[in-house]
Amino acid sequence: MFIEKFLCKNCHKLVTYKLFTDFTIMPILGEDVVFTETYGICKVCKNKICIPEKCGKNAERFYEEYRTAQEKYNGEN
């Protein structure tokens, strides 16, 4: 895994971080959709760090899941 330094908003300095993937279950249109979110964890303060490239992907994935749920919902009605 490639580790680079990133700015932690809590420490106010460049820190090394660990990539972490979290699973959240979100009800979308009456359907429970599993949504995966990837972010960094600051090695110093253990705070969540939003990594731009990952955060963008998180949002993309969310919209994708949402679209899928919506299509399914529309198809059933």
CB 20 within 8 A of CB 47: no
Q: Which residue reads 């249109």 in tokens? A: 29
- 12 vs 25 by CB, closer to Zn ion: 12
Q: Are 55 and 9 in contact (CB under 8 A)?
A: no
Only one residue has tokens 């490239």, namely 53
Nearer to Zn ion, 7 or 59 (CB): 7
**40 or 69: whose CB is closer to Zn ion?**
40
Contact pattern for Zn ion over residues 14 through 53, marking x by CB under 5 A: ----------------------------x-xx-x------
CA-CA-CA-CA torsion sign (15, 19, 24, 29): positive
CB of 55 to Zn ion, least distance (A): 17
Give yes or no for residue 69 binding Zn ion (CB under 5 A): no
Is residue 11 near Zn ion by the rule CB under 5 A? yes
